Amino acid sequence: MYASCDVGKFRNNEDGTLDMNNFDYESLLGVSFKMNKKERILSYDSGSSHAMLLMAVDIDSNGKPVKWQFENSWGASSGYNGYLTFTDEWFEEYLFRLVVEKKYVDESIVEILNQDPIVLPPWDPMFLEDE
| Confidence (pTM) | 0.79
- Return the closest-CA partner of residue 55 out of 37, 73, 43, 39: 73
- Pairing mode of beta strands 2-5, 95-99: antiparallel
Cβ burial of 54 (10 Å; 0-12, 13-18, 19+) is middle
Going residue by residue through the chain (131 aa), what tens digit of pLDDT does each one get? 888 899 989 999 889 999 999 988 889 888 887 889 999 988 888 888 888 999 999 999 999 999 999 998 888 888 888 899 999 999 999 998 888 888 999 999 999 989 998 888 888 777 655 44
66 three-state secondary structure: strand
Which strands sit side by side in the sheet containing 11-12, from one edge to the other? 11-12, 17-18, 83-87, 65-71, 50-59, 2-5, 95-99
Per-residue pLDDT at 131: 42
